[in-house]
Chains A and B, each alone.
Chain A
């Protein structure tokens, strides 16, 4: 029985995989440090993140998989659900045990599972691209908060960088407490002082919004109300496309402004 812990980074997880192969000590469980359940495993190892070792594992995978399959492994890491480490390990084990590329072998549970996760992550990322609503602040920053089901913020960088090249913006994940900031030159990850955002709703204090912000929010709500065709009302379909948990960020789902 081998139990591994790592620092929670993707490189850390790849370092674990390196150690596993080096010592031929196959894991029964891999956890982020600090989430250990002590006592039940005969042998536990804490693996320090080693960029060189991580790179060797990653290069090995890149040789045997397409780029999109490698991305799927990274997405599984961003998925963050219990057991994702062992799922990644099982997949990697299958890759290295096979002479041919296994990424389309959907009859294997871990291959199918990771392809489903990739789809889930894609969907959540796409939802963020759709449902993020920026508010313009007094100093011209376009600000939005999110709390996605999965850690998709790193995947949003390219999309928003291309789209809003001429405006400064900040997307802040209130659940994971970090943000993505574009200053008209570069995009970088940042952490904010707790005081600047409301911890629960993520709302910024109203007095820092630009003077015209309420006008455009009101006009968007008006548009939303009038593009609807009441004769075709279909609540079930509406909710399937726009689950209630996303409403808190949607300007059009807030109380009507006058």
Chain B
């Protein structure tokens, strides 16, 4: 019995791990019934894998039996792998017992599609319902919405789950048709639209009537695979920007493609594109927290993000006319746009300059990365640099100059490029 459940856990954790979302934040579920768990406020990463990713939730598939044959997916029908399926009780028991020992924040449950979409979705919902009603579980539950599942089931799922997600995976319909012929964009976007409508509806209802049931209080998210198909960063980021704006998504996750099959339709990669994935995340952050529009980050002249420098620095170098920015007087929004200044140091600057004019020394102590920021600012009217440099020279000085050590990952990947080339 113990060995069987261990074997299932191995197979179904392995199958679920390529979904990168692991967030457990944004829930508002309080422990008000003297039950188990509390999911208000911030998320907690209880452990970290050896690849440095956070482990916050028990992330498993209910089953890896699947009727679909998507080329990029490890669980595809034609793949010759071990198959397994948990029972509903097994998933509930694992979740509760892991939670009680403080291993996890909750459950992230997805599934291969067996029989049909509704049949699968119904089982996912049943697990969430059992946890909430029979076990008074107030921990975090993230349910994957199965493409093609009925509106009714999605509505029910949202009553028990904190977050719902539908993975788009491929950033364009052409790629989806090519790599996942049984799926189509409509099947994915319809549930996403449903969830978005329900979220809005529940929000409106709760304004009028506080006890109205909450619908997925931590919102919805999706995932895009980077590097399994030909889309450039402009296409990917434009899609994300639209998703944030039109579907009210909390997060778009990006997963650098890890080769899981030898399919001629897929690129043959030596390593997952980790740096590109990182740059895309930085660009995503610029859109969500730094007030950037997608066309400021990538455009027709620069459709791909620079792998060597971060997208904010790249924007700064393309827009030197905006600078220098005077630290002691500029608006917060503009200070936030200075390469090397993050949200926290920008806030510190704006707060502290009310007491006394700030010097370069202060900025350093606030955690500003002067190596980058120094070319874009003045302090009390004085520039840290004695002359104006061109964008090309600033870039070179930041990357190689003044004995700076280059990002270890860049080095690693560049040397791999060299080896491959």
Binding site for B on A (CB under 8 A): 102, 104-108, 112, 126, 129-136, 142, 144, 162-167, 215-216, 218-220, 222-224, 226-238, 240-242, 250-252
Q: How far apart are A8's CB and chain B's nearest CB, in angstroms?
A: 31
* 25 residue pairs bridging A and B, Cβ less than 8 Å apart: A105-B356, A107-B356, A130-B44, A130-B47, A133-B101, A135-B101, A162-B40, A167-B36, A218-B2, A223-B58, A223-B98, A226-B14, A227-B55, A227-B59, A229-B51, A230-B50, A231-B258, A231-B271, A231-B272, A232-B272, A233-B50, A237-B51, A237-B52, A238-B51, A241-B48
Listed stretches B5-13, B210-218, B220-228; interface member: B5-13
Q: Which residues of A contact B50 (CB under 8 A)?
A: 228, 230, 233-235, 238
B59 and A107: CB pair below 8 A? no
8 Å CB contact of A107 from B17, B271, B274, B352: B352
Q: How far apart are B125's CB and chain A's nearest CB, in angstroms?
A: 23
Kindly state the separation between the CA atoms of A234 and B409 in the bound complex, as whole angstroms. Answer: 10
Kindly state the separation between the CA atoms of A136 and B35 in the bound complex, as whole angstroms. Answer: 18
Closest residue of chain A to B366, judged by CB? A106
Flag B31-68 by CB within 8 Å of A: 1 or 0 each: 10011111010001111111111110011000000000
| Contact A104 to B49, CB < 8 A, known contacts A219-B6, A229-B18 | no
A236 and B408: CB pair below 8 A? yes
8 Å CB contact of A104 from B46, B354, B358: B354
8 Å CB contact of A222 from B6, B36, B37: B6
Q: How far apart are B358's CB and chain A's nearest CB, in angstroms?
A: 7
8 Å CB contact of B365 from A105, A112, A142: A112
B47 and A215: CB pair below 8 A? no
Kindly state the separation between the CA atoms of A250 and B55 in the bound complex, as whole angstroms. Answer: 13
The 5 A-B pairs at the shortest CB distance, nearest first, are namely A237-B52, A232-B51, A104-B351, A226-B13, A106-B352
Residues in B351-393 with C-beta less than 8 Å from chain A: 351-352, 354-356, 358, 362, 365-366
Q: How far apart are A87's CB and chain B's nearest CB, in angstroms?
A: 16
The residue among A226, A238, A250, A251 with the most chain B CB atoms within 10 A of its own CB is A226
8 Å CB contact of B102 from A133, A240, A252: A133
A-B pairs under 8 A by CB, number: 149
Number of interface residues of B (CB under 8 A): 57
B100 and A106: CB pair below 8 A? no
Flag B264-296 by CB within 8 Å of A: 1 or 0 each: 000000011010000000000000000000000
8 Å CB contact of B34 from A165, A232, A234: A165
B49 and A166: CB pair below 8 A? no
Q: Any chain A CB within 8 A of the CB of B136?
A: yes
Q: Which residues of B contact A250 (CB under 8 A)?
A: 47
Kindly state the separation between the CA atoms of A232 and B227 in the bound complex, as whole angstroms. Answer: 15
Q: Any chain A CB within 8 A of the CB of B94?
A: yes
Q: How far apart are A154's CB and chain B's nearest CB, in angstroms?
A: 18
Given contact pairs A220-B98, A234-B52, a sample of 9 additional A-B residue pairs in the complex whose CB atoms are under 8 Å apart: A107-B362, A130-B44, A133-B102, A164-B36, A164-B100, A227-B55, A231-B259, A232-B52, A241-B45
Kindly state the separation between the CA atoms of A104 and B348 in the bound complex, as whole angstroms. Answer: 8
8 Å CB contact of B52 from A112, A164, A224, A241: A241
The residue among B6, B36, B52, B366 with the most chain A CB atoms within 10 A of its own CB is B52
Q: How far apart are A155's CB and chain B's nearest CB, in angstroms?
A: 15
Kindly state the separation between the CA atoms of A229 and B274 in the bound complex, as whole angstroms. Answer: 13
| Contact A105 to B17, CB < 8 A, known contacts A133-B103, A167-B100, A241-B52 | no
Closest residue of chain B to A129, judged by CB? B44
8 Å CB contact of A134 from B5, B14, B47, B101: B101
Q: How far apart are A58's CB and chain B's nearest CB, in angstroms?
A: 24
Q: Which residues of B contact A240 (CB under 8 A)?
A: 52
Kindly state the separation between the CA atoms of A126 and B14 in the bound complex, as whole angstroms. Answer: 28
Q: Which residues of A contact B97 (CB under 8 A)?
A: 216
A134 and B100: CB pair below 8 A? yes
Closest residue of chain A to B348, judged by CB? A106
A163 and B101: CB pair below 8 A? no
Q: How far apart are A52's CB and chain B's nearest CB, in angstroms?
A: 34
Q: Which residues of A contact B35 (CB under 8 A)?
A: 165-166
8 Å CB contact of B9 from A226, A231, A233: A226
Q: Which residues of A contact B351 (CB under 8 A)?
A: 104, 106
Q: Which residues of A contact B352 (CB under 8 A)?
A: 104-107
A220 and B103: CB pair below 8 A? yes
Closest residue of chain B to A126, judged by CB? B44
A238 and B58: CB pair below 8 A? no
B17 and A131: CB pair below 8 A? no
